[in-house]
Amino acid sequence: MIEFCMPSLGADMEAGTLCEWLVSPGSVVKRGDIIAVVETQKGLIDIEVFEEGTIHKLLIKENEKVPVGTLMALIIPAKETTPKTEKRLAEKIQTIRPTPAIQTTAGGMIAAGIKSSFKASPLAKRMASEKNIDLSTVKGSGEGGAITREDVEKALMEKEAGIPVVKPSAVENIRLAVAAAMTRSNREIPHYYLETRVDMSRPLAFLREANKQRTVKQRLLPVVLLIKAVAKALKEVPDLNGYWEYGLKLKSEINIGFVVSLRTGGVMIPAIHEADKKTTDELMDSLNDMIPRARAMKLRSSELADSTVTITSLGDENVETVFGVIYPPQVAIVGFGSITEQPWAENEKLDSRPVLRMTLAADHRATDGNTGSRFLMTVKRNLQKPETL
Amino acid sequence: MNTPDGYIKITYREALKQALRVSLQKDERVFLMGEDVGRYGGAFAVSKGLLGEFGPDRIMDVPLSESGFTGAGIGAALGGLRPIVELMTVNFSLLAMDQVVNNAATLLHMSGGQLNVPVVIRMSTGLGRQLAAQHSHSWEPIYAHIPGLIVLSAGTHEDARGMLPAALQSPDPVVIFESNSMLNLEAEIPANSGMVDITTAHVKREGKDISIITYGAGVYKAMDAAQILADAGMNPEVIDLRVLRPLDENAVMTSVRKTHRVLLVEEAWGSVNISAELSARIMEQAFYELDAPVQRLGGMEVPIPYPKHLEDACVPQTADIVTRIKKMLQHD
């Protein structure tokens, strides 16, 4: 029996609400099928299944909010036809499922990340736990902003009077998710920063030639070369491709998270899976497919959860340099400013070149400046041979 | 101002004197011994006139030797009498400390329960009469520290009149503290008020916003503060501890469960005082009832100065209580 659990769609996710099952018991599923839609702070996410088999039982009802890791469904593997292990699993379900339902009040999801930032009196805490009130949503009126009995009573009255606790909009949710992740990053990760300048004459010339052969729709953007150059460099300098989880855990796949700014504010970071193995055309297709979906907050679970390193590129007509904040638990973020005409000294001559400022912000717990430097130099070298990308 | 029916207007000093008189009248075994209690009428005129009424055998002037006459009192108690030993002030009581701690408080234990010591030791305490550092201390906490003693604090006129008769019925040593600063204070009490219980704290004023817990000279100040706060829309509860050993935890915790906030007020120095003990017990027994940190107003930790304005500044006053509670309830 295969256990299908609420996936973690990013380090900052604690729970998700099942909005819809797209399958029912008896449905046959295969790897990559979307079987459920889950609402998270990052919007409605299509949840994929990674096994083949037949849906045996759906254990979570629609509109139920459960913590990450909660068993949601049982799937009979393609090879196994009788659910003989069901009884044992049923027992397991009892133990796995958290007894108190997660509070559905707003902000609960990120509360864990910023829990220590509110003060409450012992009485207020006791009352809140008895009455199932999420203190992170209560404003304190006591000394130094401490939450007191009165504040909890007020929150309780509002709850009982059916005044809906204002549910943050999708935009606010994204803001909160970014806030939680970035706060954690700056609190926990000792960043170090490196910067270098890249002469983009050759890559741009290569693109001009390459795009001549392509229809408008197929044309490559400079960012595709940047992504590929980074992905290839990570194969040579793998220490920047991984997670810091009580030590550096390297990842074998190079899944590049690409920061997409939302027009309403906030960012989404969809992952380009195995970017090192994709051709530039495939990368362009990925971007064309993912960016609009990211902006519509319609990403697949694997795209949200799998990135192993992040690229932030501000694109054209923007500032020259960007220093990123690492998306935990990753250990590096590469920043690309916009390409601008700049004086360039080479071979004792002064010239004007299209110049790209490339930065690296990396976790000093995981790597040192030397690693970062090697990585940036490798990216730079890769970019000078665009035809090999 | 007319006194309501059934009430009498009386000074704290007079209440203390009536307690002595009633006790002397009621039980022939009772006698008063102390420095200047007879011919001089008591250092604070509490026993004035009693010598003529009861004679020198029962109103006994003693030499200036606190240790000696307190020991004699303990001996008399062991011998079946009911002595009231007056130590002029708590300041001089240190000279008798060995008798109180090592004899009165321990003999029941040392004798395997055979010898109880029914002595009552009265002493005045506190400042307020410009008597300077050696005559103005509030050392109730020192006595409240000692197992084997019952320690009372008369913070009201009823208790000034009613605690002594009750203490004389106790089989074990009782120490009664009388507030120096209150001697001339007048109050109305029921004309028939007599013996009071000496085991519980009293809720002097019911309230729901905060518990002011105090004793001795703090009681009337807390009541005045509560009235001022009530006029401003707040509703404090006032508790007079009365018994400093053993503490009436039940009354305290009941109040904490009701108001969820506590201000402890006393004139004794802040470090290691009764409030410190109470604060710890509240934390141990009612932590999850607290809606704000327990706070204390205690005496300034200095030798009590002579000038009146500095003396006043040394202990919590009504205005200090009002200010602190406004800060606790309204954060201003």
CA dihedral B122, B125, B129, B130 (to 10 degrees): 130
pLDDT score at A300 = 83
Q: Is B290 on the interface with A (CB under 8 A)?
A: yes
Q: How far apart are CA B332 and CA A143, in angstroms?
A: 9
Asked if B260 lies within 8 A of A149 by C-beta distance, the reply is: yes
Predicted TM-score of the model (pTM): 0.57
Q: Maximum CA pair distance of chain B?
A: 60
Domains of chain A in sequence order: 2-96 (2.40.50.100), 108-160 (4.10.320.10), 190-388 (3.30.559.10)
Q: How far is A138 from chain B (nearest CA, A)?
A: 15
Q: How far apart are CA B287 and CA B295, in angstroms?
A: 14
Per the rule left: phi > 0, alpha: psi between -120 and 50, beta: everything else, B188 is: beta
The 10 Å CB-count burial string (b at 16+, else e) for A253-276 is ebbbbbbbebeeebbbbbbbbebb
pLDDT score at A231 = 96
Q: How far apart are CA B50 and CA B59, in angstroms?
A: 7
- Record the tokens describing residue A66, joined without a space: 């459960």
Asked if A123 lies within 8 A of B331 by C-beta distance, the reply is: no
Q: Collect all residues of chain B within an 8 Å Cβ-Cβ radius of residue A147.
A: none
Q: Collect all residues of chain B within an 8 Å Cβ-Cβ radius of residue A121.
A: 260, 290-292
Q: Please report, rounded to a whole number, the percentage of residues in chain B having pLDDT higher than 70.
A: 99
Q: What is the ipTM of this complex?
A: 0.77
Residues counted in chain B:
332
Identify which has the larger pLDDT, B200 or A136: B200
Identify which has the larger pLDDT, B39 or A40: B39
Q: What is the pLDDT averaged over residues B192-218?
A: 96
Q: Is A121 on the interface with B (CB under 8 A)?
A: yes
Q: Is B235 on the interface with A (CB under 8 A)?
A: no
Task: Classify residue A16 as exposed, middle or buried by CB count within 10 Å of its CB (0-12, 13-18, 19+).
Answer: buried
Active-site residue among B14, B35, B86, B135? B135
Q: How far is B329 from chain A (nearest CA, A)?
A: 8
Q: What is the pLDDT averaged over residues B167-183?
A: 97
Residues 94-113 of B with CB under 8 A from A: none
Contacts of B117 (CB under 8 A, 6+ apart): B74, B77, B78, B103, B104, B107, B108, B172, B173
Task: Classify residue B145 as exposed, middle or buried by CB count within 10 Å of its CB (0-12, 13-18, 19+).
Answer: middle
Domains of chain B in sequence order: 7-190 (3.40.50.970), 202-330 (3.40.50.920)
pLDDT by position in tens, chain A (length 389): 888 888 887 766 778 888 888 888 888 888 888 888 888 777 778 888 888 888 888 888 887 888 888 888 888 888 755 555 555 555 555 444 443 433 333 333 333 333 446 789 999 999 998 888 888 888 888 888 889 998 998 888 888 776 555 556 777 778 888 888 889 899 999 999 999 999 999 999 999 999 988 888 888 999 999 999 999 999 999 999 999 988 999 999 999 999 998 888 888 899 999 999 999 999 999 999 999 888 887 888 888 888 999 999 987 777 899 999 999 999 999 999 999 999 999 999 999 999 999 999 999 999 999 999 999 999 999 999 999 88
pLDDT score at A111 = 35
Pick the residue of A119, A121, A131 with the most B CBs within 10 A to test the interface with B by mutation: A121
Q: What is the pLDDT averaged over residues B61-78?
A: 97
pLDDT score at A208 = 92
Q: Is B64 on the interface with A (CB under 8 A)?
A: no
Identify which has the larger pLDDT, B91 or A174: B91
Q: What is the pLDDT averaged over residues B114-118?
A: 96
Q: Which of B287, B328, B331 sits opposite A122 (nearest CB)?
A: B287
pLDDT score at A89 = 53
Q: Is A154 on the interface with B (CB under 8 A)?
A: no
Asked if A148 lies within 8 A of B291 by C-beta distance, the reply is: yes
Cα→Cα distances A361→A143, A235, A238, A328, Å? 40, 18, 15, 12
Q: How far is B95 from chain A (nearest CA, A)?
A: 45
Asked if B290 lies within 8 A of A148 by C-beta distance, the reply is: no
Residue of A nearest to B257 (CA): A123
Does B66 qualify as catalytic in the annotation?
yes
Cα→Cα distances A320→A342, A358, B125, Å? 11, 9, 78
Radius of gyration of chain B (CA): 20
pLDDT score at A230 = 96
Q: Which of B291, B328, B331 sits opposite A124 (nearest CB)?
A: B291
Pick the residue of A123, A130, A138, A147 with the most B CBs within 10 A to test the interface with B by mutation: A123
Asked if A148 lies within 8 A of B287 by C-beta distance, the reply is: no
pLDDT score at A114 = 39
Radius of gyration of chain A (CA): 24
pLDDT score at B2 = 63
Does B301 qualify as catalytic in the annotation?
no
pLDDT score at A117 = 61
